[in-house]
Structure 1
């Protein structure tokens, strides 16, 4: 988690997304917002200044470091979208889905794509549901 200083706050998700440029990226952002709301059953919260997160969970590493983070989320970055599937190692836990997704890149728990038209959104939905299930099955 590169942004350990990032915390949930009361900034407006809608106001943040209304400022996203260009218009197509803004439209895709609202589609992702609705998709994640529908699939998670959770309301969105701003985390820091540029991440829309859904739900929270408490993590604790073997090193003793611990904190709270969102379960799933996204950020409409200038270069691409970052979709955070925090409960899993995207390359390993979601390898079958990644093969069917379309044009993307991955990080450990992140998925990157330029626009929704580049990917199969039904596969993205499968990935979100799977990531939430993985998190739900982890010890609390």
Structure 2
């Protein structure tokens, strides 16, 4: 069976965080690192070369294909910080009202700077998304 291209690695989380530029983006990512650790009670694992993932989630498609992914995480990309959340972001329990400036994909948020969003609302949004994933997976941790 085909494996995901992006998998957990033994890469250094500290080295990854230290290498993020500019410094404001690095500080934003350090804040997100602390937030995800608090919400998942798991330390970061480097997935591939550029995603910090927290916790683990086992999924199975109707086709029978299975795999592992993280409950939540983020990556410092050139244009924005990408926040990865496993659930469909159109879920009615997820409240984006007055969050601030962001772009949304199917399962991710793109935020240029944390100062452009309401951090309390972002925290609640991420916590809700993680809870939705944990409640829908027989093997999330």
Does TM, scored on the shorter chain, surpass 0.5?
yes
Give the direction of change, closer, same or farther, for the CA distance of 1:77–1:94 in structure 2 (3 Å limit): farther
Q: How does 1:42-61 map to 2 (within 5 A)?
A: 42-61=42-61
Q: Aligned-residue CA RMSD in angstroms?
A: 1.5
Q: Does the 8 A contact of 2:59 with 2:137 survive in 1?
A: no
Residues 1:119 and 2:120 are matched in the alignment: no
Give the superposition deviation at 1:64: 1.8
Give the C-alpha shift of residue 63 in structure 1.
Answer: 1.7
- Structure 2 stretches lacking a partner, 5+ long: none
State TM-score, norm by structure 1: 0.91
In the alignment, the residues of structure 1 paired with residue 92 and residue 8 of structure 2 have an alpha-carbon distance, to the nearest angstrom, of 26
More helix by share: 1
Residue in structure 2 matched with residue 130 of structure 1 by the alignment = 128
Q: What is the DSSP-based 3-state SS (H/G/I as helix, E as strand, rest coil) of the residue aligned with 2:90?
A: helix
2:58, 2:137 within 8 Å by CA — same for their partners in 1?
A: no
Which protein, 1 or 2, shows the higher relative CO under an 8 Å CA cutoff with sep ≥ 6? 2
1:68 aligned partner:
68
* Equivalent position SS for 1:123: helix
Contiguous gaps of at least 5 residues in structure 1? none
Aligned length: 136
Query: Which structure 1 residue ranges, 4+ long, deviate > 4 Å from structure 2?
Result: none
CA contact (8 A) 1:42 1:55 kept: yes
